[in-house]
């Protein structure tokens, strides 16, 4: 009848969504202001004013048929050139528009890359903790998704476990930095070690192992920390980018993939991305937003708000006895739960209308994710609830 796996995937909501829905129900009962909802990574900081100004100007002044019409399947050529120039200016790279493929956000960028790469028997490797949809996207191609357990001391990479998982069937490795859910940025040392291993194993196996860099949080970093641009460290890198977080446009569904010329057989790699886009129907990303992001290239939402939220929450929680690796980016805190069962801990938090997500969802049990892309004032009010929760364990 129907594809069983699709019915299964479509029938169960993710835990994050369940918690979010619970929050909506409680908000109707006791008022939104009494719920401390840290469940979803939906940016609360608005897009910069220049984004709405650009939208209005374009909609009011440009030819509607051209503005809203189809673009090339891989995206408007002028848009891609402008974005390539902006990436080059920021990162010292040498891309042209021909290295870019416009997509409907990072989710689509990832699905296209997985689809472009996966052949029968292939395996993809991810590092816990990771965005749970990786597994769905990777397995959706028929490939296997293998997971390197978390390095819970620092949330960098557990290299011994990684080296054991690599094998001739490994087609690609996916990294996400700044990371959802840990907020950690992979250091240059981590990237150098990772790429050295990938180079060595690619040589040993006689085929490239690709690196997929999932980068929706690239610009959301604190204390001047640098996020290495991975194509400069490893030629066979696909960069999956999105404006969902950096420009606070998650509902507009816009992003891109970079396929560098340095990649082995780069022409075929780009053709495979176009082919995967075709098969998945991810062609001609929303025309208006292609143009809007190209006009606003290089801008971001106000990252200082996230830094303020991080500081408030990190210092508040650690002073109460919670243990947590200090995040350097994204907008998540990932402390240890105060009991080994993070689900039970989150249930207890719910009794205080504190909505957190168990780390099990990110393949990292014993931790909880706190999405602090919320109003600073809500964080201030929530601290008493976190304190009550901690006291329940004393």
Helix axes of 77-91 and 287-295: crossing angle, nearest 10 degrees: 30
3-state SS record for 275-304: HHHHHHCCCCCCHHHHHHHHHCCCCCCCHH
Closest separation in Å from C-beta 357 to ligand PLP = 12
Estimate the crossing angle of helix 342-350 against helix 376-391, to 10 degrees.
110
Closest distance of CB 103 from ligand PLP, Å: 8
What are the tokens at 394?
A: 């004393």
CB of 130 to ligand PLP, least distance (A): 8
Number of other residues whose CB lies within 10 A of the CB of residue 190: 19
User: Residue 4 Cβ, how far from ligand PLP at the closest point, in Å?
Assistant: 26
Output the residue with the shortest Cβ distance to ligand PLP. Answer: 105
DSSP 351: T
Contact 271, 242 (CB under 8 A): no
- Least separation in angstroms between residue 259's CB and ligand PLP is 18
Nearer CB in complex with ligand PLP: 208/216: 216
Q: Which is nearer to ligand PLP, 140 or 216 (CB)?
A: 216
Q: Which is nearer to ligand PLP, 186 or 386 (CB)?
A: 186
Nearer to ligand PLP, 131 or 306 (CB): 131
Shortest distance, position 104 Cβ to ligand PLP, whole Å:
7
| Residues of this chain that bind ligand PLP (CB under 6 A) | 41, 105-107, 131, 176, 180, 214, 216, 242, 244, 250, 255
Q: Which of 335, 347, 330 is nearest to 392 (CA)?
A: 347
Contact call for residues 192 and 229 (beta carbons, < 8 A)? no
Residue 131 or 229: the one with the smaller Cβ distance to ligand PLP is: 131
Q: Which H/E stretch holds residue 357?
A: strand 357-358
């Amino acid at each position: 009848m129907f594809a069983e796996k699709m019915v299964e995937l479509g029938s169960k909501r993710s835990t994050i969504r369940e918690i979010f829905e619970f929050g909506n129900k409680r908000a109707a009962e006791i008022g939104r202001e009494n719920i401390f909802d840290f469940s979803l990574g939906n940016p609360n900081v608005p897009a910069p004013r220049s984004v709405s100004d650009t939208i209005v100007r374009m909609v009011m002044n440009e030819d509607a048929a051209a503005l809203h019409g189809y673009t090339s399947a891989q995206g408007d050529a002028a848009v891609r050139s402008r974005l390539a120039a902006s990436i080059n200016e920021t990162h010292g790279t040498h891309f042209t528009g021909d290295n870019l493929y416009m997509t409907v956000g990072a989710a689509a960028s990832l699905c296209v890359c997985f689809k472009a790469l996966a052949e029968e028997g292939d395996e993809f490797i991810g590092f816990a903790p990771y965005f749970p949809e990786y597994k769905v996207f990777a397995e959706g191609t028929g490939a296997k998704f293998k997971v390197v357990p978390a390095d819970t001391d620092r949330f960098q990479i557990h290299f011994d476990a990684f080296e054991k998982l690599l094998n001739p069937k490994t087609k690609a490795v996916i990294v996400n930095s700044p990371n959802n859910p840990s907020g950690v940025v992979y250091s240059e040392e981590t990237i150098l070690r990772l790429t050295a291993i990938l180079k060595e194993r690619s040589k040993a196996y006689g085929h490239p192992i690709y690196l997929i860099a999932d980068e929706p949080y690239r610009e959301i970093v604190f204390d001047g920390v640098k996020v290495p641009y991975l194509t400069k460290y490893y030629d066979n890198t696909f960069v999956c980018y999105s404006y969902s977080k950096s420009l606070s446009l998650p509902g507009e569904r816009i992003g891109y993939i970079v396929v560098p010329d340095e990649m082995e057989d780069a022409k075929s790699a780009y053709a495979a991305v176009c082919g995967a886009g075709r098969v998945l129907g991810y062609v001609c990303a929303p025309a208006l937003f292609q143009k809007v992001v190209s006009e606003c290239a290089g801008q971001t939402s106000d990252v200082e708000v996230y830094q303020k939220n991080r500081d408030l929450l990190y210092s508040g929680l650690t002073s109460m006895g919670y243990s947590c690796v200090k995040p350097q980016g994204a907008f998540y805190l990932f402390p240890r739960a105060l009991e080994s069962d993070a689900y039970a801990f989150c249930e207890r938090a719910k009794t205080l209308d504190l909505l957190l997500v168990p780390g099990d969802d990110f393949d990292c049990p014993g931790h909880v994710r706190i999405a602090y892309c919320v109003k600073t004032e809500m964080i201030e009010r929530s601290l008493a609830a976190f304190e009550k929760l901690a006291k329940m364990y004393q």
